[in-house]
Amino acid sequence: MSVLIHAPYPTIETVSVLPNPQFSDSEALADEVEIKRAMNGKVRTYVKTKNGRRKLIWEFQLARPKTLELYQIFKSYFSMKFLVEDHHSRRWVGNFVNNPFEFASNNRAGPDIGTVKGERYTIRLEFEGVEQ
């Protein structure tokens, strides 16, 4: 299964298909805990919930054409919501929270034919959203 990025949500105009994340993925709650101390020395904790939002982190290794396609999608739709279908067949609605998006080049340029792979980029995507 691949990762599908639909943009913008709910009026889908474009879809990008990405390979499975390189080193699996990670998922965490987006809630925050704040610890405050009162003037009398009493410690109080506050939990800021985000209504079930989760933070997902994926790391992909992409060829140059796919990297340019992803760059254009983020350039055009960054401030809008995305629908993401992950490699576990789950659907998420939310936003990418990377700032900036960093495309790191791992392999040098070359032909992308046969067993010889062309220029490859690694990108880490952080997504915060709600499962549908």
pLDDT at position 105, please? 83
User: What is the pTM assigned to this prediction?
Assistant: 0.73
Instruction: Verify cis geometry, omega within 30 degrees of 0, for the bond prior to 111.
Output: no
Find the length of the chain: 132
The tokens describing 81, both together, are 């919501």
The per-residue pLDDT for range 6-23, each reduced to its tens digit, is: 999 999 999 999 988 887
Q: How many CB atoms lie within 10 A of CB 94?
A: 20
Q: Which candidate, 82, 114, 121, places its Cα nearest to that of 3?
A: 82
Give the model confidence (pLDDT) of 56-114 as tens digits: 899 988 888 898 999 999 999 988 999 999 888 899 999 999 888 888 887 666 666 66
Contacts of 83 (CB under 8 A, 6+ apart): 5, 6, 7, 9, 10, 12, 91, 92, 93, 132
* pLDDT-derived band at 116, boundaries 50, 70, 90: low
Q: 98, 126 in Cβ contact below 8 A?
A: yes
